[in-house]
Amino acid sequence: MKAIVFDVFGTIVDWRSSLIHQFGELEKELGIELPSEALADQWRQLYAPSMDRVRQGEIPWTVLDDLHRESLVKLLNQHGIALDAATIDRVTHFWHKLDPWPDVQRGLQRLKEQYIIATLTNGNISLMVDVARYAELPWDMVFSAELFQHYKPDPEVYLGACQLLRLPPEEVMLCAAHNSDLRAARALGMKTAFIPRRTEYGPQQSNDLEAEEAWDFVAEDLVVLSERLREH
C-alpha cells in the first residue's frame, strides 16, 4: 500500500460543532436568535439529497459550495430567518472553517511519514484548500469530486484518484468514518480503514458507531491507525 485517501467531513473535521459555534457567533453579531443546532443538523441533512440531484442528472454538475448555498436559502426560508445575500455568502463559507478532531494533525503527520496522504471528498477544491489551511492539514494532494464531476459514491471519484496517483486500487486505502463510503471503495478493490466518530452527528447519533464489516483496519483514531500500520 502506497497511499491513503481520506473522507473529510466527519472523518477529519468536526463539522457539527464548528457550524454550531459559528452560528452562535453570528447570533451575537447580528443580535438575533438563531436555532444553531437545528440549522447545523438540518443543513447537513440536505447534503446527500442535494448531491443526489446531480448524481441522478436532475441538475447539471454543481460544486458543493453552490449546493450548500441553495440548501441554506431553503433552510432560512423554512425558519423564517431573513439574511441579506452577503451574509448568506458568509454563512455558506462556514464550511471553509471547520476544526479537526483532536487526533487528526498528529495522526496525519505520522501517516505522511510512510504514505502519500490526500483527501477524497465531495467538497470542491477551493473549499478543501481553505479547510486544509484553517485546520493545518498536511495533505500531499487534494482529490475532490470536482476533479471528476461526480459525487461519491460514484466509482469515478475513487478510481479517478487512483488513476491520478498512477496506482492500482489495491495500493490505495480509503480511511473514513462512514461504512457506506468504505463499502463503495472496497467494491472497487481499494483497501479500507474505519475510524469511528461517534459524536459526528451529536448526542443522538445512531449510525456509524462501529465498523459494520471486516474492514482491513479498524482503529479508534488516526494516531492508533498509524501505529497499526507500522506494526503491519
pLDDT tens for 41-89 read 999 999 999 999 999 999 999 999 999 999 999 999 999 999 999 999 9
For range 7-12, the mean pLDDT: 98
pLDDT tens for 93-123 read 999 999 999 999 999 999 999 999 999 999 9
For range 146-157, the mean pLDDT: 97
For range 136-157, the mean pLDDT: 97
CA distance 232 to 228: 6
pLDDT tens for 191-224 read 999 999 999 999 989 999 999 999 999 999 999 9
Closest CA to 208 of 172, 171, 174, 181: 181
**Domain edges within the chain:** 3-14+98-231, 15-96
Q: What is the CATH number of domain 3-14+98-231?
A: 3.40.50.1000
Cell numbers placing 213: 464489516
Cell numbers placing 100: 479537526
Q: What angle do CA 157, 159, 165 make, to 5 degrees?
A: 105
Domain 15-96 has CATH 1.10.1060.10: no
If pLDDT is split at 50, 70 and 90, which confidence band does 232 have?
confident
CA of 103: how far to CAs of 74, 203, 220, in Å? 35, 20, 10
CA distance 128 to 196: 22
CA distance 14 to 140: 21
Please say whether the beta carbons of 197 and 101 come within 8 A.
Answer: yes
pTM for this predicted structure: 0.96
Cell numbers placing 200: 459526528
Burial of 141 (0-12, 13-18, 19+ CB in 10 A): middle
Cell numbers placing 76: 432560512
Q: What angle do CA 186, 187, 188 make, to 5 degrees?
A: 85
pLDDT the model gives residue 83: 93
